[in-house]
Structure 1
Amino acid sequence: MEQQQLPVDIETDIKKLPVGYRFNPPERDLILNYLINKILNRPLPSNAIKDIHFYDFDPDQLPIGKFSSYCKPNLAYFFTQVVQGRRTTKSGGHWKESGSDEQVWSKDDKIVGFKKSFVFYTGEEKSNWIMHEYRVNPGLILADESNKPLKSKVTSLKSSYSMN
């Protein structure tokens, strides 16, 4: 099977973090400072999260190692469109839900979003790959009938890593 290539040059497109710093924001900050800003076309605090068609790739094709200079080892963050139903890759593997939605809370005790965990399977064989999907609480963004274009842009944030 032909291997897919990522459409971004991750190594050269990352703003450098100071020595000793890692990109490791709390979940609430991922939602409040990255995901909401992405949905609303606002500037992001950093370009550490890349846009990809996440389900075009099996997890071993994702360039997680290229994130090692500024993320925790074996960890990477990606923006992608929300997928309804089965989350299948082009090669036929799939991400299977593992548990139920967890609420993500702000410092002032408001639900800012949701986190769902998935495990990657090739056929019926479970892998060591885990993905966390973050979604914004729709109540934080006005999404009434007059805002249909915004509804169609809803994006999710993926945090993928290997449990090697």
Structure 2
Amino acid sequence: MDKLNFVQNGARKLPPGFRFQPTDEEIVFQYLTRKTFSFPLPASVVPEISVCNYDPWDLPGDGEEDRYFFTKNEAKYQNGNRANRATCSGYWKATGSDKRITCPKRSKDTMGLRKTLVFHRGKPPNGSRTDWIMHEYRLVNSGTTSSNNSTKNSDLVQMVNWFLCRIFLKKGSTEKQDEEINQPRAYGFVNGDDDDVGPSSSSSSSCGSSAITESTSNGLDLDHEQTSVNGFNDFPPYLYQ
């Protein structure tokens, strides 16, 4: 399992034609759960990093794609449990309600929670909202045999200290990385709706399926900019024949 390592210098580098597009269930039960209990991962495609040590546009990886990171919860205060979400230029602010993520094949007592956060430039509470979005996944346990619907999110107990974060620019955003660094300004959401903050949708799959998918156009993906990754060339020799 560990031989499938696609992380280089803290960034994900997949062979041309492949994309990492996991569902919520795959993120929680194939990656986060395995990371939490030190089981082998399906593939080493998610680097470990302290997300809040970076502004979102400075994180490793391709800013045009969703980026995934394992990170640990850092307390804001030494004697408290409140998470530190501040970066050099701003802070991550939670929005909406946490989404529960379950799997029929798993115990009902263990589930995932997905928290949505929006990046704000400046200092709270007067920061300027941007189009940078984070989905923060954590593994929780209800500690009871009650059904999921009868247990409040506030009663769920977080397991260990690992999170898996998906960071991306809101779909349809006109915000560019260079503009974000050189010309700071506030950006509103396209629809002005907190609930419409999801990434581009991916095809649904079962909680046990692979999260690495092959993406081609007419059988070939000719738009990939990588030249060589792990011995894979951008275009195989037969394309030139």
Please tell me the TM-score bracket, short chain as reference. Answer: 0.7 to 0.9
Which structure: greater helix fraction? 1
Among 55, 69, 80, the residue aligned to 2:71 = 80
Mapped contact 2:68–2:167 kept (Cα < 8 A): yes
Moved over 6 A (4+): none
Distance 1:47 1:99, change over 3 A: same
1:44 aligned partner:
41
What is the alpha-carbon distance in structure 2 between the residues aligned to residue 43 and residue 57 of structure 1?
Answer: 28
Distance 1:152 1:105, change over 3 A: closer
1:128-151 superposed Cα distances (whole Å, 9 cap, x missing partner): 1000000112359xxxxxxxxxx8
Mapped contact 1:81–1:153 kept (Cα < 8 A): no
What is the alpha-carbon distance in structure 1 between the residues aligned to residue 48 and residue 83 of structure 2?
Answer: 21
The two structures, once aligned, show a CA RMSD in angstroms of 2.6
Once the two structures are TM-superposed, the CA of residue 21 in structure 1 deviates from its matched residue by 3.3
Once the two structures are TM-superposed, the CA of residue 33 in structure 1 deviates from its matched residue by 0.9
1:113 aligned partner:
112
Query: Equivalent residue of 1:65, what SS?
Result: coil
What is the alpha-carbon distance in structure 2 between the residues aligned to residue 25 and residue 107 of structure 1?
Answer: 17
What is the TM-score normalised by the length of structure 2?
0.51
Once the two structures are TM-superposed, the CA of residue 152 in structure 1 deviates from its matched residue by 8.3
Return the letter of the residue paired with 1:9. Answer: N
Return the letter of the residue paired with 1:85. Answer: A
1:161 aligned partner:
168
Mapped contact 1:64–1:161 kept (Cα < 8 A): no
Return the letter of the residue paired with 1:75. Answer: D
What is the alpha-carbon distance in structure 2 between the residues aligned to residue 78 and residue 49 of structure 1?
Answer: 5
In the alignment, structure 2 segments of 5+ residues that lack a partner are 1-7, 75-81, 144-157, 174-241
1:35-90 superposed Cα distances (whole Å, 9 cap, x missing partner): 11111111111111110011100001012317xxxxxx42110000024334111x
What is the number of equivalent residue pairs in this alignment? 137
Q: How does 1:58-97 map to 2 (within 5 A)?
A: 58-65=55-62, 73-83=64-74, 84-89=82-87, 91-97=88-94
Once the two structures are TM-superposed, the CA of residue 20 in structure 1 deviates from its matched residue by 3.7
What is the TM-score normalised by the length of structure 1?
0.72
Mapped contact 1:86–1:95 kept (Cα < 8 A): no
Once the two structures are TM-superposed, the CA of residue 34 in structure 1 deviates from its matched residue by 0.5
Distance 1:137 1:76, change over 3 A: same
Distance 1:152 1:116, change over 3 A: closer
- Structure number, greater radius of gyration: 2
Query: Equivalent residue of 2:136, what SS?
Result: strand
What is the alpha-carbon distance in structure 2 between the residues aligned to residue 10 and residue 108 of structure 1?
Answer: 33
Distance 1:24 1:152, change over 3 A: closer
* Percent of matched pairs sharing the same residue: 30
